[in-house]
Amino acid sequence: MRLVSQSVSQEFQDADNLDQAFGMVFAELRTNEYIRSRCAEWVPDIKSEIDMHFYVWATSNADEISAVKRIGAQKDEAILDQLASVAANGVQSAISGAGLTEPDDRRAFCIRQAKSKSADSGTIRQRTPNASRFLLNYLSSHQLSASEYRNRELVTGCTKQGLNMGSDFDVISAYCECFIGVLVGGMTDEEFDDYYGTIKDGRSQDANKLPQFVAVVPQLEQCQSNDIF
């Protein structure tokens, strides 16, 4: 395995095979969530700024993340829990070693970590090209269906719209996952294409009167949160 630089710790390894690539990116996803959570506690006044950086990272690495999710769905839960625990322990040790006890130090740490994610050099492809290649090769032979790809893009677009309107990332991402999940789960592909096509034509009111949409309204209402906007 080849050592390259990392932002939380001093160095980390690129992958030699698909299993290593999966473990590395799965761990990075969990590390990102841990850092976001700690920073939300430490510097709540800039949570939205930090969240946006991590959102940019996730969208920039959407294909690698899709591969990890697809592989992870086939893994034993105990293995995933172990990987998540290793990731959490690693970032906890890094934070403890950095001596982040002062508010200004914590703020600087959170801003540095967040900005490193949205920088071009922060992508999986740039930082760990081997891991990216293994995951993208896997995805090319286990491709997302047209509807899976569409759903991923719809959730991404919904989340971005909410963030641009000032929504909290955790609230809006959960809402969008729920909202899109209910829509596509409650309609056939043809019904959804009809509904979404009407939306894209600028006829939202007409779309909301379509029978396939009316049928899922009770479930959609369960996705709502007073904190969305």
Phi-psi region of 166 (alpha: psi -120 to 50; beta: other; left: phi over 0): left
118 shares its domain with 168: no
Residue 228 lies in a domain: no
pLDDT digits (tens, 9 = 90+) for 27-36: 999 999 999 9
Give the distance from CA 41 to its chain's centroid: 20
Residue 32 lies in a domain: yes
CA distance 207 to 210: 5
Residue 17 has phi, psi (to 5 degrees) of: -160, 175
What pLDDT score does 105 carry?
94
Residue 94 domain boundaries: 3-141
Q: What is the 3-state secondary structure (H, E, C) of 102-129?
A: CHHHHHHHHHHHHHHHHCHHHCHHHHCH
Give the confidence band of 10 by pLDDT, cuts at 50, 70, 90: very low
83 shares its domain with 177: no
Does 215 score more than 60 pLDDT?
yes
Q: List all residues 6 or more positions away from 197 whose beta carbon is below 8 Å from its beta carbon.
A: none
133 shares its domain with 168: no
Domains in the chain: how many in total?
Answer: 2
The pTM (predicted TM-score) of the whole model is 0.86
Q: What angle do CA 157, 158, 163 make, to 5 degrees?
A: 95
Residue 229 lies in a domain: no
